[in-house]
Amino acid sequence: MSASFWSDAERHLVRYIGASSFVPEIIERAEGSFVWTADGRKLLDFTSGQMSAILGHSHPAVVATIQRQAATLDHLFSGMLSRPVVDLARRLAESLPEPLSKVLLLTTGAESNEAAIRMAKLVTGNHEIISFARSWHGMTQAAASATYSSGRKGYGPAAPGNFAIPTPNAYRPDFTTAGGELDWRRQLDFSFEIFDAQSVGSLAACIVEPILSSGGVIDLPPGYLAELRDRVHARGGLLILDEAQTGLCRTGDWYAFQRDGVTPDILTLSKTLGAGLPLAAVVTSPEIEQAAHDRGFLFFTTHVSDPLVAAVGNTVLDVLTAEKLDVRAAELGSYLGKGLWDLATRHRVIGDVRGRGLLIGLELVEDGGRKADEIGAAVTRRCLELGLHMNVVQLPGMGGVFRIAPALTSTTGELDLGLEILDQAIGEVTAS
């Protein structure tokens, strides 16, 4: 059976993940923090699926909602509304600071970023977009044009007016203070000097992740976001925050921007909102929504405002609130971070541990002449053999960075198991 599965996969599937290959396991089912393979192996999922399943796999409350909602109302014409959609919009607005209160429900992160950029261009009348040089915002046209971490070569011109600025990486700083630490203010000065030199004076928006995930789990320094917002506003643009992976309790706050007290003009949510199901949102102010509407804002998809996934979104908010998973994420993140730093004392190949809550980056460095990305790939393979699924970011100049994002419902015992397997895998790979 498995031979025919892989033969059919090779024959019929488009390979969509660049130079990477599919995980060499057939997954039959998933529950909680684990997935099971066709040959009965149990794998601890340290990535929450695609960084999305914050309640773990097949959470009973989500399963019950899907069964109930699918039996009554699953999909509608895009101009029709249902109670789950309006309820979710209201509840998202209630979870956010003013003036974020107008919600558009979509399917994926790329869609939500596409809609946000489109809205910003329409409202401002401008077309230029700023994003980080290690950004990831999606694979649709405007989102891909604002994505610089990978996937740019070979597809022809990106949307005009897109600009990359340096990513403030405290572990690998490009601008430093006298003490050798990242001088993000000087870096930001430089960023806008090069932008202003190239801009035609038509800034529509700056779109950034509060913690760059695909870029190597890089947390913006405290104070950076406020200064970035002010510079963007001074040039007539809007600040869009992409909280696909950081929103809804993963960082220990309901939203990552709360740490900095910076409310974006437009917020995008996805991955965590559906806890693994395709649900995304754009949230903005009444003022911006009104201006967009007055100018004829047009953005809808086949699955805009679908009631099935909106009902799941409401259940996700129920569970996050009832189980206080923001507090749980902060506690588990502290526990896991300490465990990873303990590993760093035993493995010189671990260069840095960073992140917030249960979004943690573990950066490997060159060891014994072996490149970090090579070591990272080998550790990933060995972890899988030992029963742990990991995800390693491999970007030029970044080394190998593991993105560790367990479910917020994880137990300390499950985190201990992951640490134990990772310890063994790194030890075996570096010893060889």
271, amino acid identity? K
Active site residue 271: yes
Consecutive H or E run containing 226: helix 224-234
Query: Which is the catalytic residue, given 134, 231, 382, 403?
Result: 403
Query: Which is the catalytic residue, given 102, 111, 118, 245?
Result: 245
Q: CA–CA separation, 225 vs 413, rounded Å?
A: 36
DSSP state of 174: S
Query: Which is the catalytic residue, given 121, 136, 229, 326?
Result: 136
Q: Which of 216, 241, 227 is nearest to 399 (CA)?
A: 216
Query: Which is the catalytic residue, given 242, 243, 326, 363?
Result: 242
- As given in the structure block, the two tokens for residue 305 are 């405002």
Q: Which of 33, 50, 34, 52 is nearest to 42 (CA)?
A: 34
Active site residue 287: no
Are the C-beta atoms of 361 and 17 separated by less than 8 Å? no
Q: CA–CA separation, 411 vs 409, rounded Å?
A: 7
Are the C-beta atoms of 69 and 308 separated by less than 8 Å? yes
Query: Which is the catalytic residue, given 250, 271, 354, 382?
Result: 271
Active site residue 189: no
Give the residue carrying structure tokens 């005009």.
160
Active site residue 245: yes
Q: Which of 414, 379, 409 is nearest to 393 (CA)?
A: 379
Active site residue 423: no
Show Cβ contacts of residue 238 under 8 Å, excluding neighbours closer than 6 positions. 120, 123, 124, 204, 205, 206, 232, 265, 266, 288
Residue 164 CB coordination number (10 Å): 18
Active site residue 67: no
Query: Which is the catalytic residue, given 45, 111, 114, 209?
Result: 209
Q: Which of 282, 306, 305, 270 is nearest to 118 (CA)?
A: 282
Catalytically active residues are 136, 209, 242, 245, 271, 403
